[in-house]
Amino acid sequence: MSNLSKTTRFQPRLEGLEDRSVPAFLGPFYSNISPPLNTMSANVVSTSVGSSSNIITSTKNPTLVQSAPTTTLNTTVTPTLSSTTTQAVFSQAETGQERTGTINKFDPNLGALTSVEIIATGSLTAQAGVENVGFRAGVLKTDLVGTLSYKVAGLSNPIQATLNQTRNATVGAYDGNTDFGGSSGRMFTVQADAANATTVSPGTFQKIVLNDQASLKLFSGNGTIQVLQDSDAEACVCGPGNLVGSVATKSSGNFQVIYKYTPLAQLGSIAGYVYHDVNKNGAYNPGDRMIAGVTISLTGTDVYGNAVSRTTVTGANGWFTFARLTAGTYSITQTQPAGYAQGVNQAGTLGGTPVTGSDTITGINVTPGASGTAYTFGEIVNGGTTPGTPPKDNPPSRAVFDAKFAFSDRSLWRF
């Protein structure tokens, strides 16, 4: 009998696993969304064995852990502000009319607008010719009184100044020529100027610095803002009982806006997620469900003393983010989702304190450029059933697997 006809028997030998990865087939698939990557502690990789794709899981116990909040940070560090300027120029024109100019809005791509400073200037000018046609010398005088104002579309109150000026000269008796010159006439240029001041008085515009949320929103975005200049003037000439006069008044001005802002690189953020804590252990675990459509509010004060108030809603994956935050101290509050009871809330990487018995985390200190993550609001269901129809889980950004180990003739057995 040839060797080819013999039946050769092989004794299979199981090789020791030692401390290395072993193959596994896929167990039940959880379609839950996982928390942020920095809250995962699982050593999972993908490889290809033969013609099939398998999940290789470390023999070390993979766990899902909650990021611990860091120590409260010091927010006395003030960002370095930058500025940009836009202006509307009104050339000289007759008074008694409303004129239109435009200024550019602040470009949000530069950063976060912190304040809007308005510097308004302007002039009323009277060209007055006066001729004494009497038989005696006298004093000729020109008085100019008027108002100059600017109105910004969206701001309720105009920026206004009252202006006045007087010019006078002594002239002789009529010289026989009505030319506003010679020994009996004068040509006056009377100009009243207005500039910024901290208080309103004749000849000044009130200095304007806007930092409320409504104004910052008004001046931010694409496009332009309309600025209207309006002017009214009264001019009179007086002198001896017999005189001839002519007056023309004009206005001019400049409306300048200085935008002060925090550059993008110095803006911070606060992010986290809302989830159904199925096993009620106070932390996200495989099997917990992310909750969409939950309202999250942010309030606080930035380092410049400006009040900040924002609202957002968790996305389909249960996450929320407050981006483009100027350095400051903030609180975030969850509006309790219908059908769920209060669970455990946890502060994230920038610190803060969950308020007992409420859905608020206070004292979140955002320093320039800092990004806070892992701010979580846990929800539970008393009685072990999900009320109503909770939000459906969405296709995962990362899968969470219940991996069950098994032996395979492709991997563990060697002949």
Q: What is the pLDDT of residues 179-190, one digit of tens each?
A: 999 999 999 998
Cα separation, 160 vs 144, whole angstroms? 17
Supply φ then ψ for residue 39, to 5 degrees: -105, 5
Higher pLDDT, residue 257 or 68: 257
Give pLDDT, residue 156: 84
pLDDT tier for residue 258 given thresholds of 50, 70 and 90: very high
Helix (H, G, I), strand (E, B) or coil at 339: coil
Please, which residues have CB within 8 angstroms of residue 410's CB and are 6 or more apart in sequence? 23, 49, 50
Cβ neighbourhood burial of 125 (10 Å; 0-12, 13-18, 19+): buried
Rounded to an integer, the average pLDDT of 50-63 is 31
Closest by CA to 83, choosing from 207, 201, 258, is 258
Share of the chain above pLDDT 90, in %: 60
Give pLDDT, residue 168: 92
Mean pLDDT for the chain overall: 78
Give pLDDT, residue 383: 62
Give pLDDT, residue 201: 64
Rounded to an integer, the average pLDDT of 125-129 is 93
Supply φ then ψ for residue 113, to 5 degrees: -70, 130
Rounded to an integer, the average pLDDT of 268-272 is 97
Give pLDDT, residue 203: 73
Higher pLDDT, residue 172 or 68: 172
Give pLDDT, residue 73: 42
Cα separation, 66 vs 46, whole angstroms? 24
Share of the chain above pLDDT 70, in %: 72
pLDDT over 70 (residue 407)? no
Give pLDDT, residue 325: 94
Q: pTM of the entire structure? A: 0.63
Rounded to an integer, the average pLDDT of 332-351 is 95
CATH fold for domain 267-394 = Immunoglobulin-like (2.60.40)
User: How far, CA to CA in Å, does 195 sit from each of 92, 138, 303, 342?
Assistant: 17, 35, 30, 58
Give pLDDT, residue 202: 66
Cα separation, 410 vs 407, whole angstroms? 9
When mean pLDDT is compared across 173-177, 258-262, 382-386, the lowest value belongs to: 382-386
Rg for the chain, CA atoms, rounded: 38
Tokens of 331: 């609180």
Rounded to an integer, the average pLDDT of 111-127 is 93
Rounded to an integer, the average pLDDT of 96-104 is 96
pLDDT over 50 (residue 286)? yes
When mean pLDDT is compared across 22-31, 70-79, 162-171, 237-246, the lowest value belongs to: 22-31
- Amino acid (one-letter) located at 322: F
Give pLDDT, residue 198: 62
Cα separation, 2 vs 257, whole angstroms? 102
Please, which residues have CB within 8 angstroms of residue 294's CB and are 6 or more apart in sequence? 274, 313, 314, 318, 320, 334, 335, 337, 377
pLDDT over 90 (residue 297)? yes
CA angle at residue 382 from 376 to 383, to 5 degrees? 145
pLDDT over 90 (residue 78)? no
Strands 185-197, 224-238: pairing is: unpaired
Higher pLDDT, residue 70 or 145: 145
